[in-house]
Amino acid sequence: MTEIIEAIKRSAIRIRKAINEEELGYAQSANSSGEQQLKLDVLSDTIIEEELARASSVKTIASEEKSDPVTINESGKYLVGYDPLDGSSLVDVNLSVGSIFGIYEGSFSGPNLVASAYVVYGPRTELVVATIKAERFRLEGEEFVFMQELALGDKGKLNAPGATQKYWYPHHKELVESLFAEGYRLRYSGGMVPDLHQILVKGGGLFSYPGTEDKPKGKLRKIFEVFPFANIYEKAGGYAIDESGRRLLELGCGDIHETTPCFFGSRYEIEKVKEYYEKA
């Protein structure tokens, strides 16, 4: 496991440099979700694949930017699912973006996730790793220096409501509005990594990416985005559920690009989600 975390650190340093120096713009290709790829998407994916290939314990990799999993070492123990540059379309407006990693044993599924991590490329470059605890590090020169263990309180003040409001189901709209009526502040950039990182660091709140009339299964991918963050939120003392109130980490996964509605937050807000969704 340590060598995988070291590969993630090397990848982060190279991707940070690429964000700062490489030209932006679109590649000639699209990913399996039909989204046109940015040159940075493809470059970040290549960087991570190169660095993970140096870890002998990695058997198979699956990337949001690749249509199928790739076996890189038959004798490896772990499977790594990753989103190489989540929110990459925000780079050209100079907002924070991130890389997300889920480390699995046996198969790509919620119950088989054994560790996860993400990197935030913002004013500073930070790494959060969750094995037993959720631990935050900051890049200083070429080293990631430990900052703190992340812990969510019982309740927060931040509300990050994703998806197109025009297509929200009525009960979801009522949930979001009920939090604002309690004085919650809107904190939503359109980048999953900085939006979830902010709630973790500030100690509480709710991030929601629900199913909607146009996308009933939501938009965020189980293997590359949802399961990794569910693990991190739970290790920080928070909760991560789907629209039926199930722990996201109990969910299986068919196609590796499968999506699910997802809710991440502290206890009070997640209880609110259950209250409004049970009434639906």
Nearer to ligand P6P, 78 or 233 (CB): 233
Chain residue whose CB lies nearest ligand P6P:
192
Q: Count interface residues toward ligand P6P (CB under 6 A).
A: 8
Rule CB under 6 A: which of 176-215 touch ligand P6P? 190-192
Rule CB under 6 A: which of 2-21 touch ligand P6P? none
Under the binding rule (CB under 6 A), the answer on residue 228 touching ligand P6P is no
Q: How far apart are the C-alpha atoms of 210 and 273, rounded to whole Å?
A: 10
Rule CB under 6 A: which of 34-93 touch ligand P6P? 86-87
Give the sign of the dihedral formed by CA 96, CA 99, CA 236, CA 226: positive
Structure tokens at 190: 């359109």
CB 152 within 8 A of CB 136: no
Closest CA to 160 of 121, 198, 131, 202: 198
- Residue 135-164 contact track with ligand P6P, rule CB under 6 A, x = bound: ---------------------------xx-
Q: How far apart are the C-alpha atoms of 218 and 1, rounded to whole Å?
A: 31
The least CB distance from residue 118 to ligand P6P, in Å, is 11
The least CB distance from residue 209 to ligand P6P, in Å, is 6
Q: How far apart are the C-alpha atoms of 110 and 229, rounded to whole Å?
A: 11
CB 273 within 8 A of CB 208: yes
Interface ranges with ligand P6P (CB under 6 A): 86-87, 162-163, 190-192, 219
